[in-house]
Structure 1
Amino acid sequence: MATGQSSHLTHTHIDTGTTTLHVAEQGSGPLVVLLHGFPESWYSWRHQFTALAEAGYRVVAPDQRGYGSSHSPQNIEDYTLPHLVGDLIGLIKALGQQQALVVGHDWGAPVAWAAALMRPDMVRAVAGLSVPPSPPAFMPPPSLTRRLYGEDFYQIRFQEPGVVDAELAADPAATVRRLLVGASGDNPALTQPRPWVVPEGAPVLESMPEPGSLPQWLDNEDIETFAADYAHHGPRAFTGPLNWYRNIERNQHLMSPFAGATIDVPALYMVGDQDMVTALHGVSQLRESLHLIAPKLHAQHTLPGCGHWTQQERPHQVNEALLDFLAHVQD
């Protein structure tokens, strides 16, 4: 059983040896690192800090490379999956620890899964929210998604630098608001999950219109907090995060030595049944074979009515599942 006392949330910047990351931290005890996705920040874990800290864990959520007030390299090639895993491993070491329990959501999930694959000595256990593990690179490359979904699949639209960067950065609050509500289980326009494909010739955000109201789990203060995190980088507010997508094809080559490898640490997977990820080609079959990819899979949870923003939309269910998993790992 974990031991330790909760504390107030603190913020600092940490030199990982590969970059400098802003981190939010609370509690003491075994280290739990929470990795956010796109277009989020450390703040997407706001409902997890106290629950985990009060259970006796040291909870650390960084703004990942290119996000918030963390370092945002200029070169696209500086956002590969090995770079991102290196940031995590460097962070664990900089925090004075030899191991961590790692939880990732959206893009944070591939980083978490890859870290467990590459450094099982330092990732004691791994939980992925939304994106399931699919070694070696954990996301299908544009050479495949272009054939499956066409040129207007959002990840294909994200590949070309410039236009999308400017569109998303023009009004960060509107961008975050439209994407969070649009991909949530509370979007009234979505009757079932489907891949995000932008109307041909339309701006990316046209497929995520301004919501008439915010869902119960999201308020204007939340939107402004996310927007302020992106404002650190001005007109390049979303360029760093978009550069993660611009390395998906490159990741296939860099991670090729791990083809056929399994994730051999305790694992947990959670996803909403309204998450767009569940509608992607091959995901249902992948979920059926998770026990082969992650032989120590503890559980696989599907959250009814939940969209893409798992820990924000369903914080109580996520916290309950994480605490059960962490207690299982600690025993």
Structure 2
Amino acid sequence: MSTPVQRLTAEVNGITLSYLSQGEGPLVVFMHGFPDLAISWRHQMKAVSDGGYRAVAPDMRGYGASSAPDDPALYTQFHIAGDIVGLMDHLGEKSAVLVGHDMGANADWAMATFVPERVRGVVVLSIPHKPRGTQPPVASAPPRFYQKLFQAIGVEDDDLHRNVKTFLPAIFDRLSGSSEHGAPPSLMVPEGKHFSDLFEPPSKTPEWLGEAELAEYVATFERTGFRGALNWYRNIDSNWWTAAPWTPGHVTVPAAFMIGTADVAWALFKDNGVIDSQKERVPNLLDMRVLEGVGHWIAQEAPDEVNDLLLNFLAKLEARDS
């Protein structure tokens, strides 16, 4: 029988971090991306806790019931890493397996680079390990690339908040592999439009999400707004600059990676070779899987496949450590 999920809080790194906890045993920390919450990991938390681990999923800094400082400068990759290390300390753990998706995937890779002694291994969904590149990513992006629009405080934040009831079901549907509107849109926002305009609301809630979960997302973002969430994007170039001492940024801890062919990230990183060349930068990449037809919300769209990847990876770690 599964153990119940608890909602707990920890005072870490100068903020309050709200997190879900389920099970007992070695620690597995789940880090979500945009525009997600800790509940996005509900399927994986159950599987991991049933497998003899403690699953912990925070509402990341800026999201949900966790603190959301207004200052964008408080959302660097070092702040995020500090939150997770502080959470480990709060739980009395020296290290953890980290599982990340979307912006949480970037945090996964960063922590494996900066504090590998605190990371037993990483399981990364959607966003591959990327070479650092020669220019700041957002500054060198096309003018209407969505991340560029996110840089102006109060513009896209306010638009998303005004349209939260239509935006959230729309982005969840449109970036899934089962969207009624077809393949994901380009992430270039037309002149005079907002990011939310890229996503047409579906006629019904995606089956993989569920009415109760969507209602929780909407109620949460109605309360919090989107400034904290977008502040992560306002540090992408800052993160590029401050990562320079770790160039080339290879990840040496054990790792696993999964992506779907209907994920917008597949379109971004497949043709330029970033996905296939990961082994060069992640020498202990123990498992890499591609799911045909699965979209961006991989942990919720294909929970059985993600759980299989995760539990197999954990088993490999236990065998290596025994």
TM-score, normalised relative to structure 2: 0.94
Is the contact between residue 194 and residue 279 of structure 1 (CA under 8 Å) also seen in structure 2? Answer: no
Per the alignment, residue 259 of structure 2 pairs with 271
Give the counterpart of 1:208 among 185, 188, 199.
199
Per the alignment, residue 57 of structure 2 pairs with 61
Give the counterpart of 2:170 among 160, 166, 178.
178
Aligned length: 318
Pair 1:88-2:91 in alignment: no
What SS does the aligned partner of 1:305 have?
A: coil
Give the counterpart of 1:232 among 200, 216, 223.
223
Shift of the alpha carbon at 1:135?
4.8
Instruction: Name the CA shift for 1:194/1:297 in 2 (closer, same or farther; >3 Å).
Output: farther
Is the contact between residue 173 and residue 224 of structure 1 (CA under 8 Å) also seen in structure 2? Answer: no
Q: Counterparts of 1:263-302 in structure 2 under 5 Å?
A: 263-280=251-268, 284-302=272-290
Per the alignment, residue 179 of structure 2 pairs with 187
Per the alignment, residue 213 of structure 2 pairs with 222
Shift of the alpha carbon at 1:219?
2.1
User: Partner letter of residue 222 of structure 1?
Assistant: E
Shift of the alpha carbon at 1:284?
4.5
Q: Kindly report structure 1 stretches of 4+ aligned residues shifted beyond 6 Å.
A: none
Per the alignment, residue 304 of structure 2 pairs with 316
Structure 2: how far apart are the matches of 1:229 and 1:88? 22
What value does the CA root-mean-square deviation take over the aligned residues? 1.8
User: Partner letter of residue 76 of structure 2?
Assistant: T
Is the contact between residue 173 and residue 223 of structure 1 (CA under 8 Å) also seen in structure 2? Answer: no
- Which segment drifts farther, 207-216 or 69-78? 207-216
What SS does the aligned partner of 1:23 have?
A: strand
- Which segment drifts farther, 256-265 or 102-111? 256-265
Per the alignment, residue 146 of structure 2 pairs with 154
Shift of the alpha carbon at 1:171?
3.7
User: Partner letter of residue 151 of structure 2?
Assistant: Q
Give the counterpart of 1:115 among 83, 91, 111.
111
Shift of the alpha carbon at 1:91?
0.9
Is the contact between residue 141 and residue 252 of structure 1 (CA under 8 Å) also seen in structure 2? Answer: yes
What SS does the aligned partner of 1:232 have?
A: helix
Pair 1:250-2:246 in alignment: no
Shift of the alpha carbon at 1:103?
0.3
Is the contact between residue 6 and residue 28 of structure 1 (CA under 8 Å) also seen in structure 2? Answer: no
The answer for unaligned runs of 5 or more in structure 2 is: none
Give the counterpart of 2:102 among 103, 106, 118.
106
Structure 1: how far apart are the matches of 2:243 and 2:170? 33
Structure 1: how far apart are the matches of 2:39 and 2:3? 17
Instruction: Name the CA shift for 1:46/1:281 in 2 (closer, same or farther; >3 Å).
Output: closer
Is the contact between residue 8 and residue 18 of structure 2 (CA under 8 Å) also seen in structure 1? Answer: yes
Q: Give CA deviations for 1:88-131 in whole Å, capped at 9, x if unaligned.
A: 11111111100100000000001011101111111000011000
What SS does the aligned partner of 1:11 have?
A: strand
Instruction: Name the CA shift for 1:277/1:195 in 2 (closer, same or farther; >3 Å).
Output: farther
Give the counterpart of 1:31 among 27, 34, 37.
27
What SS does the aligned partner of 1:143 have?
A: coil
Instruction: Name the CA shift for 1:14/1:226 in 2 (closer, same or farther; >3 Å).
Output: same
What SS does the aligned partner of 2:140 have?
A: helix
